[in-house]
Copies of this chain bind each other. A is one copy, B any other.
Amino acid sequence: MTTIKDVAEFAGVSVATVSRTLNNSGYVGEESRKKVERAIKTLEYYPNEVARSLFQKTSKMIGLLLPDISNPYFPLLAKGVEDCAQEKGYMVILGNVEDNLEKESTYVKFFSQYNVSGVLSASAIQKDAKSSIPFVLLDRAMEKEDYSISTDDLLGGKLAARAIEETKAENVIVMAGPKKVPGANDRLTGNLQVLNHSNINYKIFETNTYQVDKAEKIARNLFETFENFDSVIASNDVFALAVMKEAMRRKYRIPEDLQIIGYDDMPFSRYMFPGLTTIAQPAYEVGYRGAEMLFNLIEKKSITQKKVILKPEFVQRETLR
């Protein structure tokens, strides 16, 4: 393997000059620079990033922890992270932790052993891990001192309930997402703040999971548990979809007999028939801006806002009257 010493010898300059040329730092005369560049080309010398990272104690890698990559929200978020990382010349190491603490700690340990420059996490992250490395939480703004990008789920919950209110709904089922997901509680609170100030009757249906493969059973359960409801505020788009399917199977007309609003605005939601009315979360933007914030931390730039909260949006389609 070609070393920096070989390059220096071939070019007839010092190792320090080669290093300055490579790192674009300090003064290097025009002629020396040309010699070094020619030597690099001739000898096919590629500076080894591992060596550089060992020397600098950081690498051009960031870690990304996701709770569940098969939930379509997270690939969109990952795409935002990766686009930003690529612009900055960084690579992304993916960790799919599935809300499993052991998996998470394996990844965190690995990240630190590989000198990653920072970590983005859409999963919970242990305190120990945070202290030693720049990190930004995505959609999980848990503690005051944390850097985070999230979406205003309280507002999202209000938007959904207000949309239902405007249709003159009478009996609403509110699907409450899993309690351990911070955003799920905020959405529910937002829903209830609006509904409690209206004349609408509502009942809460607790789902305890966002898992895609549970949606069918939960939707069936909803129709077996409740009667005479005319609207459903679903905990996300996948669950809205499953409720729509079960409703149609039972010969409800949507939205005439039953109206449904989702949450997320997944790519497939507009291809439903009728098209799913929902609250759009800016998944790509959460990822992209989270990565931007992380790079600012890594580069020790001043950050004026530790917690960025993005706004969800109401997307009108065809499942509300």
Contact = CB atoms under 8 A, between A and B. Distances in A.
Interface string A60-82: 11001000011010111011001
Interface stretch (A18-26, A121-129, A237-245, A305-313): A237-245
Contact of A69 (B78, B95, B110, B268): B78
Contacts of A238: 267-268, 271
A48 interface: yes
Contacts of A48: 54, 113, 115
A133 interface: no
Contact of A245 (B54, B242, B271): B271
Contacts of A114: 49-50, 59, 61, 91
B79 A69 contact: yes
Contact of A54 (B50, B95, B103, B268): B50
Interface string A102-122: 010011011011110000000
Interface stretch (A140-148, A153-161, A191-199, A210-218): A210-218
A107 B86 CA distance: 9
Number of copies: 2
16 contacts: A46-B113, A50-B54, A50-B113, A51-B54, A60-B110, A69-B79, A72-B267, A78-B94, A91-B107, A212-B268, A213-B267, A216-B270, A241-B272, A249-B273, A266-B268, A268-B268
Interface of A: 1, 46-51, 53-54, 57, 59-61, 64, 69-70, 72, 74-76, 78-79, 82, 86, 91-96, 103, 106-107, 109-110, 112-115, 212-213, 215-216, 238, 241-242, 244-245, 248-249, 266-268, 270-273, 275
Given A238-B271, A266-B268, A272-B272, 9 more contacts: A46-B109, A48-B113, A50-B113, A50-B115, A69-B79, A79-B96, A86-B106, A91-B93, A212-B267
